[in-house]
Amino acid sequence: MKTPIYLDYAATTPTDPRVAKEMCRYLTPEDGLFGNPASRSHAFGWKAEEAVEAARKNVADLIGASPKEIVWTSGATESDNLAIKGAAHFHQKKGKHIVTCKTEHKAVLDTCRQLERDGFEVTYLVPEENGLVDLDKLAAAIRDDTILVSLMHVNNEMGVIQDMAAIGKLTRERKVLLHVDAAQSAGKVPIDVEAMNIDMLSLSGHKAYGPKGIGALYVRRKPRVRIEALIHGGGHERGLRSGTLPTHQIVGMGEALRIAREEMAAENERVRMLRDRFLDGISDIEAVYVNGDLEHRVPHNLNISFAYVEGESLMMALKDLAVSSGSACTSASLEPSYVLRAIGRDDELAHSSIRFSMGRFTTEEEIDYAVRLIHEKLDKLRELSPLWEMYKEGVDLSKVQWSAH
């Protein structure tokens, strides 16, 4: 077993070796597959185009879409931008109101903030304590001038799964477009854009054992969803996203999602066993809280608050484990996780949270090692913690007058 142990699959996954092998064929000269898929005048171009279209079909198949509805992008962040800005700008004559949720990824939240600067109005729903959006509250937030609802399928920090079918039913009834960020759900939870009435769906390559730098946006054709392009140029991807297609990246994402479709059920079972082993291993530790709903949750993610110990110092102690405290994107700041605050966790528990995310290459041995290490280091840090001492003495910390700084 090698250390550090990678338990940050929600940040990124390693590329599956089967995927990497396939990608290499489209880079080097041997097989003549390196061509520009837009080259129509020779076999190099034709072969590359063929590979791109095969990959497109693999992506479409995973989500129950037609290949014609898939647009390649540079990743889920671009897909989110294209979907939200693209739909907002196209439909602004109809209305300028958008509904999203406080626990969305920054790629959605910051895009919405930008639209607010452009004169749009955005409602940020507050999720329930379990991390899920209440349908009645969503229904109440939709107005006559609402053009778009953007909600994520699986939350990146907590791993909770939204009931997309119920949300899609509602948005369809209310004739509002539904965009779904599925970066964290593709390959972990079945997605069916038809059954779920999803109009646009963002996908990422590197969260599902594909390469970084590639993503896709599903844009519904029946009934047709119209959006404005963000990137203009050679008119690639039906004018929705210009730029030479990175064949090897696309092949990688296609292969990754093909494997995901075929192996999802078995892999989920295996990861669930690892997750349960982990939870079982730490169940004897006092004052530990799992953040987010335990049932409506992908098995890959465990977001845990270890009360009376600060998250960053715990991460430092767990240096043999590659984990993150809240969203990796915000770990440079001193602010506690905005996601945990949105579900009503108090600041202290938000400061004390660690996200463990496991996946395809995680082993039982690694989980057992992690459990042992957590026991050992947590004990040490709690011995150091005045809050732990006060808790053990029966002091109610919420009643203490702290000198805020």
Partner 1 sequence: MAYSDKVIDHYEHPRNVGAFEKEEEGVGTGMVGAPACGDVMRLQIKVNDDGVIEDAKFKTYGCGSAIASSSLVTEMVKGKTLEEAQEIKNKDIAEELALPPVKIHCSVLAEDAIKAAVEDYNKHRDEAGEGDSERQSA
* Minimum separation from the CB atom of position 353 to partner 1 (A): 11
Q: Is 179 exposed, middle or buried (0-12, 13-18, 19+ CB in 10 A)?
A: buried
| Those residues with Cβ within 8 angstroms of residue 9's Cβ, 6 or more apart along the chain or in another chain | 300, 357, 358, 359, 360, 362
Return the sign of the alpha-carbon dihedral for residues 106, 112, 114, 117. Answer: negative
351 to 390: interface string for partner 1, x by CB under 8 A: x-------------------------------xxxxxxx-
Whether 112 is catalytic: no
Stretch of residues binding partner 1 (CB under 8 A), selected from 42-50, 165-173, 179-187, 303-311: 303-311
Asked if residue 330 binds partner 1 (CB under 8 A), the reply is: no
* CB 301, min distance to partner 1, A: 23
Size of the site for partner 1 (CB under 8 A): 25
Q: Computed from CA positions of residues 181, 182, 184, 185, in that sequence, does the dihedral angle turn out positive or negative?
A: positive
Q: Which is nearer to partner 1, 31 or 389 (CB)?
A: 389
Contact flag: residue 308 with partner 1 (CB under 8 A): yes
Residue 162 near residue 152, CB atoms below 8 Å: yes
- Residue 348 binds to partner 1 (criterion: CB under 8 A): yes
Residue 313 sits in the site that holds partner 1 (CB under 8 A): yes
Between 40 and 402, CB nearer to partner 1: 402
Closer to partner 1 by CB, 182 or 354: give it. 354
Count of alpha carbons within 13 angstroms of residue 96, beta-carbon side: 8
CA angle 323, 298, 200 (to 5 degrees): 105
Three-class DSSP labels, 174-193:
CCCEEEEECCCCCCCCCCCC
Rule CB under 8 A: is residue 50 a binding residue for partner 1?
A: no
If binding is defined by CB under 8 A, does position 287 make contact with partner 1?
no
Cα separation, 316 vs 311, whole angstroms: 9
Binding status of residue 403 toward partner 1 by CB under 8 A: yes
Which residue intervals of 91-223 are DSSP H helices? 106-117, 135-141, 164-173
Residue 9 or 308 having the CB closest to partner 1: 308
Q: Provide, rounded to whole angstroms, the least separation between the CB of residue 315 and partner 1.
A: 9
Position 59 contacts partner 1 (CB under 8 A): no
Instruction: Output 92 or 330, the one with its CB closest to partner 1.
Output: 330
The residue from 50, 276, 280, 347 that contacts partner 1 (CB under 8 A) is 347
CB 194, CB 64: distance < 8 Å: yes
Minimum CB–partner distance for residue 379 and partner 1 (Å): 13
| SS3 category, 64 | coil
- Residues 309, 340, 358, 370: which binds partner 1 (CB under 8 A)? 309
Nearest CA-CA partner of 243 in 94, 38, 52, 83: 38
Among 32, 316, 376, 395, binds partner 1 (CB under 8 A): 316
**Contact between 399 and partner 1 (CB under 8 A)?**
no
Please pick, among 24, 101, 112, 329, the residue that the annotation labels catalytic.
329
Instruction: Please check whether residue 282 is in contact with residue 367, taking contact to mean a CB–CB distance below 8 angstroms.
Output: no
- 320 binds partner 1, rule: CB under 8 A: no
Distance in Å, CB of 211 to partner 1, minimum: 27
Alpha-carbon gap, residue 35 to 320, rounded angstroms:
43
C-alpha to C-alpha distance for 171 and 197, rounded to whole angstroms: 8
Residue (of 238, 221, 189, 222) closest to 72 by Cα position: 238
- Residue 126 in the binding site for partner 1 (CB under 8 A): no
Among the listed residues 312, 328, 330, 368, the single contact to partner 1 using CB under 8 A: 312
Nearest distance, CB of residue 314 and partner 1, angstroms: 10
Residue among 56 and 351 whose Cβ is closer to partner 1: 351
Q: What's the rounded Cα separation, in Å, for the pair 61 and 51?
A: 15
Residue 385 C-beta: closest distance to partner 1, Å? 4
Helix (H) or strand (E) holding 52: helix 43-63
User: Which residues of this chain interact with partner 1, rule CB under 8 A?
Assistant: 308-310, 312-313, 316, 332, 334, 336, 346-348, 351, 383-389, 397, 402-405
Enumerate the active-site residues: 329
